[in-house]
Amino acid sequence: MNDKPASLRDNVYAAIRSEILLCRLAPGEDMREADLAARFEVSRQPVREALLRLEQERLVTVLPRQGYRVNAVSVSDARDLLRFRQALEPACVAEACEAASAEMLDGLDAFRSFTDDSEHDAFIAYNRDFHAALAAASGNRRMARAARELIEQSDRLTRASLSGIRGRDPAQLVAEHVAIIDAVQARDARTAARLVREHVAKAEKRILAALSRAAIVN
């Protein structure tokens, strides 16, 4: 019985967060508790709690006596997020090289190819899952959770800038993933960490250039 309210709160939080990260709730869009409660067929309390959690993640701003607003995409915040990834993800792969099981490292082979080029969302999901799998392979749950949050929020940056999506070359990015997988499976921590750092740095350059041209940033 006691688990049900917590489960409801978590489900509402996850649903609203997903809408924001997928840009279905667009940057700068205003939201009201009553509207979201009706949309998700819940009371206003779990919606309010979810929005306050999302405020802590810097995805939402509380507007006193007005409601809530999806935070616009800030170039400076995007830079901070991607620089954080450059510090955290190499640490994750270094630990993965040392501590991950052979079975877990073999599982990275699933990311050696990407063939579904029908829509951008498919590649974004593939890319997110690859980076999350690297973080999980570290065996460090705190680092993996922090990295996953950053990776998911990076998806929003990419979606928020269509020019950034068009500028992606899936074949080149998959080749970079394959090089990282090779290094991790060889347990070459130094090379793997360097390749991940360079890979995220290239993403930073591409995304920030696209966001600087977008009309939805602040």
Task: Say which amino acid occupies 175.
Answer: A
Model confidence at 176: pLDDT above 90: yes
Compute the distance between CA of residue 97 and CA of residue 159 in angstroms, rounded to an integer: 31
What is the per-residue pLDDT across 135-167, written as a single tens digit (0 to 9) for each? Answer: 999 999 999 999 999 999 888 887 765 444 454
Domains of the chain: 8-70 (1.10.10.10), 75-212 (1.20.120.530)
pLDDT at 41 over 50: yes
Indicate the length of the chain as a whole number: 218
pTM score, two decimals? 0.80
According to DSSP, residue 73 is labeled B
Residue 193 pLDDT: 98
Is a pLDDT exceeding 60 seen at residue 3? no
Q: Find, among 150, 4, 161, 1, the residue nearest to 87 by Cα.
A: 150
The confidence score (pLDDT) of residue 158 equals 77
Residue 215 has pLDDT above 60, yes or no: no
pLDDT bracket for residue 118 (50, 70, 90): low
Q: How large is the angle between the packed helices 141-160 and 120-137, nearest 10 degrees?
A: 160
What pLDDT, in 10s, does the model give residues 55-109?
998 899 999 888 999 998 888 889 999 999 999 999 999 999 999 999 999 999 9
H or E segment to which residue 114 belongs: none
Find the mean pLDDT for residues 203-209.
Answer: 88
